[in-house]
Amino acid sequence: MELCHGWARRVLPLSATRKYSPVEIRTLCKRASPPFWLRVEGKHIPVVGEPCLQLACQVSAAYHDWLAYNAPEDDGFAADMLQRELRIEGHMLEPGSEESDRDDFP
């Protein structure tokens, strides 16, 4: 089962090494071109309207996560590290940051 988009019915690419929430899949749909289709056992079912697209994203996420059962759960570590790196980068770009002895990062 896959969520497809466009008249060419291209498969929405999902990584096999991670799990997805329905919200993440819906965000991917915003970058894709409509119309949307749900491909089940080789049959394309049209997804018409926002409520149907939300349901298709939920079904797609559940099915994908079932297939990627051994993918690690997102514990927020990657997002936390990205936030810290951006904060440190911003601190380093401040004028006079090289001369500062103050280190207020956790």
The verdict on residue 80 lying in a domain is no
Q: What is the pLDDT of residues 54-103, one digit of tens each?
A: 999 999 988 888 666 555 566 677 677 788 888 888 888 777 655 555 55
What pTM was computed for the model? 0.62
The verdict on residue 56 lying in a domain is yes
Q: DSSP per residue over the chain, as a string? A: -EEEETTTTEEPP--TTS---HHHHHHHHHHSPSPEEEEETTEEEEE-SHHHHHHHHHHHHHHHHHHTTTSPP--SHHHHHHHHHHHHHHHHHSTTTTT-------
The verdict on residue 58 lying in a domain is yes
The verdict on residue 96 lying in a domain is no
The verdict on residue 105 lying in a domain is no
Residues spanned by the domain of 52: 2-67
The verdict on residue 79 lying in a domain is no
Q: What is the pLDDT of residues 11-69, one digit of tens each?
A: 888 887 777 888 988 988 888 888 999 998 889 999 999 999 999 999 998 888 866 65
